[in-house]
Structures are given as C-alpha cells and as structure tokens.
Amino acid sequence: MILVLLGPPGSGKGTQAKKLVTDRKWPQLSTGDMLRGAISRGTQLGLEAKSFMDKGALVPDEVVIGLIRERTQESDCQQGFILDGFPRTVPQAQALDKMLSERGKQVDRTVLFEIDDSELVSRLSGRRTCGNCGAMFHVETARPKTEGKCDQCGHPLTHRDDDRPEVIQKRLSVYHQQTAPVAEYYRSTGKLRSIDASTSPTEVAHALQDALK
C-alpha cells in the first residue's frame, strides 16, 4: 500500500507512522530526511536541493519529486511506503500522482488526522524537547521525572521556537491555506479517510487501522 498521512503539525502523524513502520514494515518517507540524506551523500539532486536551501529558498517540487522517485525505487519500498509531510500542496499531489502512474502505481489511501486548532496549540506549546537525544515531554501530559531534565539521558529540555504559541498559529495558518486543500483533492478521488486525532494515541492507532481496511 502507498499511504499518505495528512494533518496539521502536532496531530500525531509521525507517532502513528512509526507504529505502522513496526507493524506493517512499510518505510516512513519524510521529505526532510530524504533531503538531508541526498545532501550528505552528495547526489545530483541533493546538490541541486542544497543550492536552493543555501539561499533560503524553497526546494522546487520537481526536485522533491525526484528524491521521492529515487527513494521509492529502493527495495524496502516495494511492498508499500508511508508519505509523512508530503504532498503539502495540490500541485505536489498532482506531481506525485503523475510520477506514480508512470510506474503503474498510485496512492492507495490517504488518512486525514482531524483536530481543533485550540487543541493543537495546547499540545505543541506544552512540548519540551531534549536537544541531545530528541526525546519529547509535555508540561501537562508527559512530565519528566526530574523537572527540566530528560528521563533518558539527563540533558536539559528546551522549548523549541516553533512550539511557541505565536509560531504555532502561523504554522497552522500555512497548513489551512496550502495543505488542507490537498485533503479535498484526495476526497474527490474517493481515497480519503478521516480520523479523530484528538483522542489518545491508542485510540488513534485503532482508528487508523480501521481506515486502512
């Protein structure tokens, strides 16, 4: 199955994608990880992407699609893969469909994680992150054993700039303007399923499994 996960930042897509990686053995493809990997390997697409990133410009869709084309030809993607964080716009979704159709494939299912903005602001603004190992905590729902210290490595926890309320509102605004229309694009093809992402991770996981049937 080729699966696309859609939803605003903080809706739990990444958490659920990691569970699917374990349960279904489908690789989770993040465009950010692919960009960093291509740059570190010095591939042609990686160097092209770096030229835009060094100028502070967005990497063009055709470069990102090229990276996805390369990545999805690897052996671990032959039984399916999960796209997390892509496509972000309707033109990207159309480019993805074109690329897949050239290989006789298609997006099989798209799952939209639905949650109110107010809940997301509460979730994200309360996050605290370990700058050393990447572990995440929350001031209300997942407090560390020692205030301000990571349970796993003891490193100080930080409040990332993009987890501050004013930044979160901007991120949500961009999402609603650019990415929400992607859900309508997939809805028109009959491939979209929506799940309630405001419940517990376990309940969201069950809803996601149902959506994949």
Distance of CA 70 to CAs 6, 38, 61, 110, 119, Å? 22, 10, 14, 22, 37
Told to judge if 13 belongs to the known catalytic residues of this protein, a careful annotator would answer yes
- Does the annotation count 71 as an active-site position? no
Catalytic site residue 123? no
Q: Is 164 a catalytic residue?
A: no
162 close to 49: Cβ distance less than 8 angstroms: no
> Which member of 103, 160, 164, 170 is catalytic?
160
What does the alpha-carbon distance between residue 123 and residue 131 come to, in Å, rounded to a whole number?
19
State how far the Cα of 208 lies from the Cα of 201, in Å rounded to an integer.
10
Asked if 41 is an active-site residue, the reply is: no
Say if residues 28 and 18 touch (Cβ distance below 8 Å).
Answer: yes
Task: For residue 93, count other CB atoms closer than 10 A to its CB.
Answer: 23
Q: Quick one: CA dihedral 116, 13, 131, 147, positive or negative?
A: positive
Q: Which residue out of 24, 69, 171, 187 is catalytically annotated?
A: 171
The tokens for 197 are 């992402």
How far is residue 184 from each of residues 75, 155, 192, 196, measured CA to CA in Å? 32, 43, 8, 17
Closest by alpha carbon to 3, among 112, 103, 101? 112
Which one from 24, 36, 50, 88 is the annotated catalytic residue?
88
**Are 112 and 7 spatial neighbours (Cβ–Cβ below 8 Å)?**
yes
Residues acting as catalytic residues? 13, 88, 127, 160, 171
